[in-house]
Amino acid sequence: MASTSTSSLRSRRSAAQLHALVAVEREIKANDHNSRRKYLQDFSQAFRCYESVLDSTEVQQSIFEADIVLIGDYHALPAAQSFAASLLEQRAVAGGRPLVLGVETVFARDQHILEEWFRGEIDEGELRERIRFELDWGYEWEPFYELLEKARQHCAAIYGLDCMPREDLRKIAARDRHATDKIAEIRQRHPDAAVMVLFGESHLAPSHLPQLLQERLPRERVLTILQNVDALYWRAAGEPRDRVEAVRVADNVICVFNSTPLEKYESYRLCLDRWGREGSGAPDLGPTIYNLIDGLLRFLDINRYSSHNGTQPKFLVDLLPEVYCRNSDGLLRRLLSRKGVTEEEKKFMLRRVEECGSAYLPRVNAFYVREFHMMYAAEEAARFLHHACRGLPLRVNGHTTEPLAAEDSFYARALENALGYLGSRVMYPARPALRETDLYELYEQTHEDLEQQSAFGFEEFVKLVDFMVLHRQFELNPQRFSEVPKPIEEGVVVAGEKLEYVTRQLGYLLGSELYNGYLEGRVTRGCLRRLFLTHLGQPGAARETYFSLVRKLRAGKKK
C-alpha cells in the first residue's frame, strides 16, 4: 500500500460514504437550519488539519498528564458517550489522583437529584424522570446512563454543568460562561482531582469553552478531546494504515475516531425522525437502509432505473427490500410463516440479528433491524445488492431458480460473505481488517471460549479450522496439490451452522483481500461491479468465480 498516493487512498476510502452522505445531509439541512450559525461555524472551521497520527497509548498518556479533560460529545451518536465511558474507566485504572466527572446533559439546578442517585437513594427510573431527560435532552438514554454508572463506580463525584435555555443559540455563550464557573467550583471542591467533562462538541472550539477555562484557571493543563471531526476524518483517510485511531491537532487538542461521518449523521437523522413523530414507537430505519443501498449503487456506478439486464440489473429500483424494525416483530414473523421460511432459516436470521443487530433475508427480500450498527447494516445492504444483481428468488421477481448443488451453494455463500464484507468496508472503513493470522489464532480458543461463543464441540471446531486452513493453502498455492484434497471435497458439502461458519470466515478473508486490492488500485470499481453482477446459477459458476477472484488478487499482489 506504500506505493498508493495519499490523495488516491483518501479518495478510494471515502468515495462510497460521500455518495451516501449527500442524501442524509440534505435531509438534515431541511430540518435543522442552525448549522449556519456563527457559533457552530467557529467549530467546523477551527479544525481542518492535524500535526501527527497518535495511537491509543499516546492518547492515554496525554489524558494522564492533563488536569482537566474536555471531551466533545456528538449527542445523537451513542458511540460518543460510550467512548467517554471507556475513557473515564481507563483514566481511573491509571490512578494517581481522584477522578470527577462533569456533564452537560444534567442541569446544575438538578445537582441534588444526581447526588441522591449517586448515593443510591433513588433508582435509574426516578433519576431519568426527575432530571426530565426525555423532555429537556431527548437523545438516547442507555449510552448516557452507561457513562453515569462508570462514573459512580470510579469517581468521587458527578456534577451537572448546564443551564437554560438550551434551544436558544443566541444564549449559548452564556451557557459556556456558566459551565466555566461550575468547573471552577469543582476545582475548589476537589483540588487534587483529575476533572473530566463531557460537553457538546461545538462548545469546544478554541475560542469557546477552552479559552474561557484557560483564562479562568490559567494554571490548569486543559486537554480537549474531539470525536470524529469530519475534516480530520477525511484527511486521515489518506494515511497508509488500516485505521487511524487518533490525531494530534495541537499541543492541547486531540481528535479520536470511533465512528464515520455517515454513522454520525444517520444517528442524527434518526433523532430528527423520532422527535418529529413525538417519540411514538421506534425510529423509521427504512430511509437509512435505502440510503446505504443507494450509496453502494452510486459507488459501483449501477443504474437502479435500468430497464435491461446485462451490465445493469433490470429495474433494481423495484426490487428494494421491505424494512422491518423492532416494533414490527409480529408482522415479520407472520410474513416468514406465510412465505414458508424454514425453522433453520428463522434460527439463522435471529442469530444474525442477535449478533449484529440486523439481517437481510433474501428468501423474502426483507431487512430486519432490531438495533442499528452502521458496520453490520452496510454489510447486509451489500448482501441485498448481491442478491438483487444475481436475480432474486421466484417469490420476489417471478422467475424460477433451481436450488444450487452443495458445492456451488458453498462457494456462492462464501462470495456473498466476501461482497458483504467488502460493502461494509467501503461504507465503514473503520471495520477491523481480517488477516490470515486471524485464522490461525482460532486454534488458541479454549474449551470454555467455545462453549460461550459457538454451538460446536472442541474437536468439531478444530476440524473446521483445519478445513479452512487447508482451503486457504489450496487457494493460495494450488500448484502444491496434484488434485483437490479429500478434506476439501468433504468440507464443501457441509450444511447448517457449519456451512454458515466456514463460508463466513473464508468469505471475510477473501473480502478483506478484495478491499485491500481496491485500496491499492489493483481492483477497479468496474471489477467490483462485475462481481456483484455475476450470475451464479449455472453449475460450477460459483466455484469458478471464487477461484478466479483468488487468482486475480494473487496475481495482482505478485506484480
What is the three-state SS of 504-552?
HHHHHHHHHHHHHHHHCCCCCHHHHHHHHHCCCCCCCHHHHHHHHHHHH
**Identity of the residue numbered 181:** D
User: What is the spatial distance between Cα 25 and Cα 23, in angstroms, rounded to a whole number?
Assistant: 6
Mean pLDDT value across residues 78-92: 96
User: What is the spatial distance between Cα 176 and Cα 185, in angstroms, rounded to a whole number?
Assistant: 14
Determine which of 202-206, 277-281, 486-490 has the lowest per-residue pLDDT on average. 277-281
User: What was the pLDDT predicted at 391?
Assistant: 75
Cβ–Cβ < 8 Å for 522, 394:
no
Whether the per-residue pLDDT at 394 is higher than 60: the answer is no
- Bridge partners (DSSP) listed for residue 162: 107
User: What was the pLDDT predicted at 399?
Assistant: 46
Mean pLDDT value across residues 212-236: 96
Cβ–Cβ < 8 Å for 182, 212:
no
Mean pLDDT value across residues 55-73: 96
Highest mean pLDDT, choosing among 122-136, 147-161, 367-381, 467-481? 147-161
User: What was the pLDDT predicted at 278?
Assistant: 63
What sign for the dihedral angle of Cα 55, 57, 60, 64? Answer: negative
DSSP SS3 for 322: strand
Whether the per-residue pLDDT at 214 is higher than 90: the answer is yes
Q: Could you tell me which of 152, 154, 143, 160 has the C-alpha nearest to residue 103?
A: 160
Whether the per-residue pLDDT at 1 is higher than 60: the answer is no
Whose cell is 428468488? That residue is 393
Query: How much is the pTM?
Result: 0.84
User: What was the pLDDT predicted at 50?
Assistant: 96
Cis peptide before 165 (omega within 30 of 0): yes
Mean pLDDT value across residues 223-237: 96
Whether the per-residue pLDDT at 559 is higher than 70: the answer is no
Whether the per-residue pLDDT at 351 is higher than 90: the answer is no
Q: What cell does 167 get?
A: 434551544
Q: Give whole-number Cα distances, 13 to 60, 124, 221, 424, in Å.
A: 27, 42, 36, 12
Tens digits of residue pLDDT in 271-300: 888 887 765 566 788 889 999 999 999 999
Q: Could you tell me which of 73, 80, 287 has the C-alpha nearest to residue 179?
A: 73
Mean pLDDT of the residues in the chain: 88
Whether the per-residue pLDDT at 415 is higher than 60: the answer is yes
User: What was the pLDDT predicted at 327?
Assistant: 60
DSSP SS3 for 68: strand
Mean pLDDT value across residues 106-113: 94
Whether the per-residue pLDDT at 453 is higher than 50: the answer is yes
User: What was the pLDDT predicted at 355?
Assistant: 87
Whether the per-residue pLDDT at 498 is higher than 70: the answer is yes
Cβ–Cβ < 8 Å for 237, 13:
yes
User: What is the spatial distance between Cα 256 and Cα 247, in angstroms, rounded to a whole number?
Assistant: 7
pLDDT band at 461 (very low <50, low <70, confident <90, very high): confident
Distance from CA of residue 513 to its chain's centroid? 20
Whether the per-residue pLDDT at 239 is higher than 60: the answer is yes
Whether the per-residue pLDDT at 62 is higher than 50: the answer is yes
Percent of residues, the chain, with pLDDT higher than 90: 56
Region of 250 on the Ramachandran plot (φ > 0 left; ψ -120 to 50 alpha; else beta): beta
Burial of 33 (0-12, 13-18, 19+ CB in 10 A): exposed
User: What is the spatial distance between Cα 261 and Cα 349, in angstroms, rounded to a whole number?
Assistant: 29
pLDDT band at 119 (very low <50, low <70, confident <90, very high): very high
Domains parsed from the chain with CATH numbers: 34-260 (3.40.50.11550), 281-401 (no CATH), 402-559 (no CATH)
Look at 5 and 517; give whichever has higher pLDDT. Answer: 517
pLDDT band at 398 (very low <50, low <70, confident <90, very high): very low
Look at 337 and 115; give whichever has higher pLDDT. Answer: 115
- For 278-409, where are the E strands, in sequence order? 322-325, 358-361, 366-369
Look at 558 and 530; give whichever has higher pLDDT. Answer: 530
Whether the per-residue pLDDT at 444 is higher than 90: the answer is no
Whether the per-residue pLDDT at 486 is higher than 80: the answer is yes
